[in-house]
Amino acid sequence: MQEVDLLKQTVRALLAGQLEAAADPHRPRWHLAAPVGLLNDPNGFIEHDGRYHLFYQWNPLGCEHSNKGWGHVSSTDLLHWRHELPALLPVEPYEQSGCYSGSAVSDEQGRLTLIYTGNVKYPDGSRTAFQCLARDDGRGGFDKLGPVLDLPPGYSGHVRDPKVWHDGQQWLMVLGARTLDDRGEVLLYRGASLHEWQWVGPIAGSGRGGLGEFGYMWECPDLFALGSYHVLISCPQGVAPQGEDYLNLYQCGWLAGHFDGTRFEHGAFHELDRGFEFYAPQTTIDRQGRRLLFGWLGLPEENEMSQPTIAHGWLHQMSCPRELYWQEAWLCQRPVAELAALKGDESHYQGAVTGAPALALGSAWLDLAPSGRGVLTIGEGLRLHWQPGEVALERRNWGSGEWQWRRAPWLGGVLRVLLDSSSIECFVDEGRAVLSARHFPAGEPLASWQGEGEIAVWHWPLRASLVQ
């Protein structure tokens, strides 16, 4: 399809569908979502020339995983976002099956440059992938510079999701990969420029670093320094459940250790979010020195096509922006400080759990300090449980109707709960664990409380933060 034709179809989809999507009562009030169509992985998250830029996988023509390009928003404060021109549309032969995920950097001349995977699927079921560049054209769009890296020997057509950074001496790239014998790995390249890359080798994956068998594909790698450690975030596919761990169809987690520019020595794999929907996160470092993260509050191939928002022409949203930090050598997450600006008037309750008020929880921030055992019910399909040593999120599956659980250890600290029209993000013990999920209440949900013991509740309604 020619670019002008795809642009015309995109404009038609926006004109025909934007009002319908915006009128959906499940539409987020302060999380990012695409104006129409399907959103998935966050891409190209960067602070550049005084603005935060976030790109995202986007199919503007429908809610299926096809026609994948990159949408683009920018902000000065992580709260109020401006729609920019679509950054990438899949119109070149080397990306004919989609402009897949990647990252963004300021190049040697300070120009915003995108590094992404061009995906090509063939009629016989085989596929290949190219790592490609596109550069800011100075008019709000991007000029494609074409592929700079082909498939390495010994790997399938599943090599994608480049995350690129400069270490002060050279460019480095990590890629998610699947070997020809179905082992997931993270590959490392180095380059003197963004156009020329040298193979270094796999630095993590199934059968490496003491992990044992650990999936057939590792997607969306992100390697960075934080404090005195290096962290590798990635999304292994094909990892079997182990007790209360790895219960989602695909996993998302972190490894911590030390990276010397060639090798990554690391410890155990830990889930980054223990809820129902969280995948493909990407981080950046901003001018304040914070390591910030956005994740996709979705999961490929698991119940997504039965979400009720599809009837309104849109699907999926981002997580809230989060800051990563260490707490006793444990990677923690907290909502960025800027989100406090959305808070309305505070209300407070202290007393028996059963006497807590029926608060409106359509868009709200809750801080909970409970004791004993109890449960907060949010609408008709979501419950947050606590008991000594454990917090659990219970959700009614909107496809099957069954109740399902996700659990996290709890040291007894404050539970911070951020709610939007169809999402919950619960930060446990200052973010040592997070439980995130989508849910679709029939109307404005109210809190109801059951249990024993005491609770302190701080409640703030959250104002809308509109995309402009």
Terminal Cα-to-Cα distance of the chain (whole angstroms): 29
429, 408 contact by CB (below 8 A):
no
CA-to-CA distance for 454 and 373, rounded, in angstroms? 9
Nearest to 294 by CA among 259, 339, 329, 240: 339
Residue 5 in 3-state DSSP?
helix
Task: Count CA atoms within 13 Å of residue 357 on its CB side.
Answer: 12
Q: Mind telling me the catalytic residues?
A: 41
Task: List for the chain the helix, strand, coil content (%; round to 5).
Answer: 10, 50, 40
267-273's contacts with Cβ under 8 Å and 24+ in sequence apart are: 269/211, 269/214, 269/236, 270/331, 271/245, 271/246, 272/233, 272/331, 272/333, 272/434, 273/434, 273/435, 273/436
Q: What are the DSSP calls for 188-251, one per residue?
A: EEEEEETTEEEEEEEEEETTSTT--S--SEEEEEEEEEETTEEEEEEEEESPPPBTTBS-SSB-
Biggest distance spanned by C-alpha atoms of the chain: 65
Q: Which two tokens stand for residue 19?
A: 């009002």
The DSSP code for 14 is H
Q: Could you identify the residue written with the tokens 């920018």?
A: 74
CA-to-CA distance for 421 and 340, rounded, in angstroms? 18
